[in-house]
Structure 1
Amino acid sequence: MALGIIEPRTERKLPGTELLLDTEQTEQSQEQGGLQHGKGKKTEIILIPQPSNDPNDPLLWPTWKRETAFSVLFLNCIVFAACPGPMIAPATVALAAQLEVPIKHVAQLSGYQLLIVGALGPLVSVLAEKYGKRPQFLIASLFGVIGTGICIAGFDQSSLHASYRVLLAGRMIQGIGTTAYESLSVAAIGDMFFLHERGLRTALLVLTLASMSSFIAVVAGTMFEHLGARNLFVVLLPIQVAALVGVVGGIPEMQFRRGKMDDSRGLDVDEKNGKDGIGGEEVVPDSHESVGGTVTNSNAGATDPAVDQRRTFLQDLRVTSGTYSHDSVLKLLGSIFIHFLNPAVLWVQIVSAVLVSFFVGTAYTLAQIFTPKPYSLTVSQNGFFFTGALVGGILGVISGPLCDFIARRLARRNGGVFEAEFRIPICFVAVVVFAVGWFVFGWALDQGKVGGIGASNTVLLCSACYGMICFATSVASTGAGLYVLDAFPAHSTEIFILQMMIKNFLFYAFSSFINEFAAEKGPAHMARVFGIATLAGFTTCIPMYVFGKLNRATIVRVIKSRSE
């Protein structure tokens, strides 16, 4: 039993169990001979996965190319995934009055948008697996631009009824533009970066997808009050056009095919997207130093097989680089939902998708809570309420480096061997902060109702608590995301798709009832319900940590038996 993790009875090397650090024990082991290491201060870190000899391997891209692709991806997640949803959140009550519709209908402008995101997620995943990720990002960006243009046109209609319908159509098309960025972005990190490089980058993407919406809400509240609803979309449109241009020139295809071979540690490797048949990554000793500056030459005597020529910049601009899977779209689509039989996937849904839905579901009600007396917040003040969540989300970025630090410390105590379950202990930080955030939030709303601590103090305290909830959401989502990348690298895209799908379906569900629920039962009761459900959900982290490796072995055995 490695640090409380039950060891399965298998001789097969499992995905998510990797030799990460050189220790006295590992230096004496023949198993790690010839493996490549990091450079500089990271020479003790063994690269996971090991890069191939092909110069088009994304792991061997120059550092500037990988960082440029990630930077464009990060910024576009803000522009296409984080911006559209919360733009109208602070103005829920005011926009309902402007369009002469119930508050619930304004909430559904976001709800139906997110329903589209969830419904199209599996299809986008299948198309990415078959034709690559680049065309999906290009198509999403194009639809995002079109959707924003339609939203602008919605405010130019002859009647308010027509305005609402056109605006709803534009929001739904914006949802098509969101899908690829919510579905594929985190998985793309696993394509371009080694295990020890993923923590901060995953946390940054979680910041954009789960937390940056708070910054958008702060800005949008003030803009709505001074410029009007239409100009929110007018300002967004040229930014999205620039982001589309960034995708064209800055995000090459990062999907990569590897040949079938056995590496120095005896892994059976197939050609599905460069991943092995049991869900791990191919490990191929390299004989040259990476142009990206992250790989040292530790196997200079290896035989260097024939490799392809490095793609030129113009070749990188192609919409698609070919077909990456020979399976039909229907077969690939059906295979996504099989992952629901994996207990780890259900755990990820609980500690990530469900918790994020609580956070976003509460956002639907904030203007409803704080616009009436005794708080009497204006639209811009409702926007500034999200400052707490913005600060919490920014602080949540530390979850990536913290998760990497915890994993390295546990790996060192485990004789240099990394286990994917070492990503789970960070959830202890999340559950403590969640508990304080939700229950103090509920207490403050009770006090605000009776005037116990004053209206202004209630707003400030609730904003701080909402920030704590946002911070904890970022921590939990980062830990869960890194666990998926490490434990199931060959199927991470499908698992992230399922997570995104469930999350967005929950967003839509909340938009259809949460406003009435908060009005009938009270927002304080809502906060306590979310807090209790959160604590109950996190109890699953204990069996997941203890039995996670056993589950990985079971999944490997099932996949192996199916392939035979």
Structure 2
Amino acid sequence: MTLGVLQPRTDEHVPGTEYLVDTEQTSVEHQYEHSHYKHGKGHENNIILVPQPSEDPNDPLLWPTWKRESAFAFLFFNCIIFAACPGPMIAPATIALSIQLEVPVKSVAELSGYQLLIVGALGPVVSVLAQKYGKRPQFLFASIFGVIGTGICIAGFDRSSLSESYDVLLAGRMIQGLGTTAYESLSVAAIGDMFFLHERGLRTALLVLTLACLSSFVAIVAGTTFEHLGARNLFVILLPIQIFGTFGTFFFLPESQFRREPPPVPITSSEAVKEKDGGHAVTEEATSNDSSNAIPKRSFVQELRIFSGTYSEDNMFKQLARIFIHLLNPAILWIMLVSAVLVSFFVGTAYTLAQIFTPPPYNLSVSQNGFFFTGALIGGIMGVSAGPMCDYTARALARRNKGTFEAEFRIPVCIFAVILFAVGWFTWGWALDHPAHNRVYLCSFCYGAICFGTSVASTSAGLYILDAFRKYSTEIFILQMMIKNFLFYAFSTFVNEFAAEGPGHMCRVFGIVTICGFTTCVPMYVLGKKNRVWVHRMWEKYLGEK
């Protein structure tokens, strides 16, 4: 057992177990091996790069810093405008919009519910297309459909009858869902394409902020905009921003998919191999330099191509079926629990907030309902710290583990998430059972604590996927996104009635299920590496993949 992680009885390399930090002990024991690894630069020169970059100048890991950062910037920006904005735009105005359109509150909730249903249903298709043809086409098509969907929503408010307005608005919201799928499911996997293991924490946390928590900022702005400018102008304002994001995707988000060959087995000091060529020794380094010079670097114009080739020769139906095979992996079931299911509790309550706080004794207006999300916004921003926390924990435990990183080192930060969830859910439940106008601030604080906990848990789970199952991360993130959005839709069909029966009881139920769910982190940490070995062997046996 290493720092609580059970070690399997095998000498084979286990994905997710990597040399990460050169310590004094590892430098002495593995001096020759480590000299052949590529390291970070500057103050990170003791960090071993994981994965090891190839010799291909087009490898995304070797892109210039400005190129990687600009690609991430537009990925982050588009996650906000295409994935985070559409859903919560109408959340603060649930009651007001139901009166305006003369439909039940449940029907307004379903404007978001059906949109999320589309996102979840299309997830597997987007996954297969991304693996086959790359991520860039999926991001481009998602951007275009997001713009079209927003335009249809604008047109919906110009209909002559209210029933027709609702139908057109519903169609527009569903097409907006086509623009959400790729950004919600492929963005974190794209981080793994462009950044090394030690660089992923903060960036993953930022994307979690957009996908799980930045909806709070959208709700704040949307509430005030709805009250002063009307529902139609919510979408009018969004449209040019999405058009800008679409152009940014075309020019600054090149294809990040890369066919990376398995890294060579490290050469030991006693196994240094030299090939004779006319009596002269040809080292491995010289050979790799020759190969890198033979590969032309693509120009900026060449990288603007929508399609850049085929990245998998597998049958698409096989790839589609393989997504669901991951449900046989206990680690994936754990990830679904601590991320997809528990995030759905946080998002599901957003459907009920206007219903809870619009009537007495709170008497909140549409804009005030939007400002209620301030707590969640602050909690989400604080949740960005989950990324550096995960990186710090991973490095600290790797140093104690003689420089070797285990993917399970991403899990301990979930202890902090449990504390935040307990404070948020149970204090909020008490406040709702003792309603008073001034307790709105306490409720907003509790919602923020839940949002903070959601960021920590989602960041931990996302990084664990990238580290433990990097090769299958796209499929796993798609599966996670699909289940999460199906749950969002399911909540839209019953959570309003559930809250009407007693919002305090609803919070306690969510809190109890959350705390119970996080107890699974203990066996996941202890048995995670053994599980990785089992999964690796199963995939090799049944799918023919190593």
Instruction: Name the aligned partner's letter for residue 78 of structure 2.
Output: N
SS across alignment from 2:405 = strand
Q: TM-score, normalised by structure 1?
A: 0.92
Match of residue 15 from structure 1: 15
Instruction: Name the aligned partner's letter for residue 496 of structure 1.
Output: F
Partner Cα separation in structure 2 for residue 122 and residue 357 of structure 1: 19
Q: TM-score, normalised by structure 2?
A: 0.95
Match of residue 375 from structure 1: 362
Match of residue 27 from structure 1: 27
Partner Cα separation in structure 2 for residue 96 and residue 402 of structure 1: 43
Match of residue 526 from structure 1: 506
Match of residue 278 from structure 2: none
Residue pair 1:141, 1:243 contacting (<8 A) in 2 also = yes
SS across alignment from 1:304 = helix
Instruction: Name the aligned partner's letter for residue 512 of structure 1.
Output: T
TM-superposed CA distance for 1:264, in Å, is 2.5
Partner Cα separation in structure 2 for residue 300 and residue 261 of structure 1: 14
TM-superposed CA distance for 1:455, in Å, is 1.1
2:462 corresponds to 1:459: no
TM-superposed CA distance for 1:547, in Å, is 0.1
Match of residue 195 from structure 1: 197
2:361 corresponds to 1:361: no
How high is the sequence identity, in percent, across the aligned residues? 71
Match of residue 145 from structure 1: 147
Paired positions, count: 526
Partner Cα separation in structure 1 for residue 266 and residue 70 of structure 2: 32
2:258 corresponds to 1:243: no
Instruction: Name the aligned partner's letter for residue 378 of structure 2.
Output: V
Match of residue 476 from structure 1: 457
TM-superposed CA distance for 1:300, in Å, is 5.8
Q: CA distance change for structure 1 residues 136 and 523 in 2, over 3 Å: closer, same or farther?
A: same
Partner Cα separation in structure 1 for residue 441 and residue 260 of structure 2: 54
The one-character-per-residue Cα deviations of 1:104-142 (angstroms, maximum 9, x if unpaired) are 000000000000000001110100000000000000000
SS across alignment from 2:155 = helix
The one-character-per-residue Cα deviations of 1:330-353 (angstroms, maximum 9, x if unpaired) are 111011100000000000000000
Partner Cα separation in structure 2 for residue 115 and residue 534 of structure 1: 23
2:19 corresponds to 1:3: no
Instruction: Name the aligned partner's letter for residue 498 of structure 1.
Output: L
RMSD over aligned Cα atoms: 1.4
SS across alignment from 1:406 = helix
The one-character-per-residue Cα deviations of 1:517-550 (angstroms, maximum 9, x if unpaired) are 1112x10000000000000100000000000000
Instruction: Name the aligned partner's letter for residue 174 of structure 2.
Output: M
Superposition map of 1:5-154 within 5 A: 5-28=5-28, 29=30, 30-154=32-156
Residue pair 1:442, 1:524 contacting (<8 A) in 2 also = yes
Superposition map of 1:261-410 within 5 A: 262-264=264-266, 303-307=288-292, 308-410=295-397
TM-superposed CA distance for 1:447, in Å, is 1.2
TM-superposed CA distance for 1:305, in Å, is 4.0
Q: CA distance change for structure 1 residues 44 and 262 in 2, over 3 Å: closer, same or farther?
A: closer
Instruction: Name the aligned partner's letter for residue 517 of structure 2.
Output: G
Partner Cα separation in structure 1 for residue 409 and residue 267 of structure 2: 22
SS across alignment from 1:157 = coil
Residue pair 2:36, 2:267 contacting (<8 A) in 1 also = no
Partner Cα separation in structure 1 for residue 241 and residue 491 of structure 2: 30
Give structure 1 regions of 4+ aligned residues with deviation exceeding 4 angstroms. 299-302
Residue pair 2:52, 2:263 contacting (<8 A) in 1 also = no
Instruction: Name the aligned partner's letter for residue 561 of structure 1.
Output: K
Residue pair 1:430, 1:475 contacting (<8 A) in 2 also = yes
Indicate which of 400, 403, 409 corresponds to 1:422. 409
Residue pair 1:437, 1:469 contacting (<8 A) in 2 also = yes
Match of residue 496 from structure 1: 477
TM-superposed CA distance for 1:32, in Å, is 2.3
Residue pair 2:154, 2:232 contacting (<8 A) in 1 also = yes
Residue pair 1:53, 1:305 contacting (<8 A) in 2 also = no
Match of residue 535 from structure 1: 515
Q: Which runs of 5+ in 2 are unaligned?
A: 269-283
The one-character-per-residue Cα deviations of 1:210-253 (angstroms, maximum 9, x if unpaired) are 01100000000000000000000000001101110000001000
TM-superposed CA distance for 1:92, in Å, is 0.2
Partner Cα separation in structure 1 for residue 44 and residue 434 of structure 2: 52
